[in-house]
Amino acid sequence: MGKPGEAGGRRLDDILRLAFLLDYRRPPSFDFGAQLMDYFSDEKRIDEVNNWVSVRLPAIIDMYSTFILKPAREQVLAPPLSNLRRMTFLPWPHWQALAFKFAERDKKAPTRFLRSIAALEKWCFCINLVDVDEHHVVRIVIDALAQIDDEIDPFAAG
Highest mean pLDDT among 11-25, 47-61, 110-124: 110-124
Q: Which pLDDT score is estimated for 95?
A: 87
Q: Is the pLDDT of residue 84 over 80?
A: yes
Classify residue 138: in a domain, yes or no. yes
Classify residue 129: in a domain, yes or no. yes
Classify residue 61: in a domain, yes or no. yes
Classify residue 15: in a domain, yes or no. yes
Of the given ranges (8-17, 82-91, 116-125, 149-158), which has the lowest mean pLDDT?
8-17
Domain tally, the chain: 1
Classify residue 19: in a domain, yes or no. yes
On average, the pLDDT of the chain sits at 80
Q: Is the pLDDT of residue 128 over 90?
A: no
Q: Which pLDDT score is estimated for 28?
A: 58
Q: Measure the CA–CA gap between 83 and 85, rounded to whole angstroms.
A: 5
Return all residues near 19 (Cβ < 8 A) that are at least 6 apart. Answer: 52, 56, 57, 60
Give percent above pLDDT 70 in the chain: 84
Cis before residue 80, ω within 30 degrees of 0?
yes
Classify residue 157: in a domain, yes or no. no
Q: Which pLDDT score is estimated for 1?
A: 43
- Check residues 120 and 156 and name the one with the higher pLDDT: 120
Give percent above pLDDT 90 in the chain: 14
Residue 80's domain spans which residues?
A: 6-149
Classify residue 156: in a domain, yes or no. no
Report the half-sphere exposure of 156 (CA within 13 A, side-chain side): 12
Report the half-sphere exposure of 80 (CA within 13 A, side-chain side): 22
Q: Which pLDDT score is estimated for 3?
A: 52
Q: Measure the CA–CA gap between 60 and 104, rounded to whole angstroms.
A: 10
Classify residue 36: in a domain, yes or no. yes
pLDDT-derived band at 157 (thresholds 50, 70, 90) equals: low
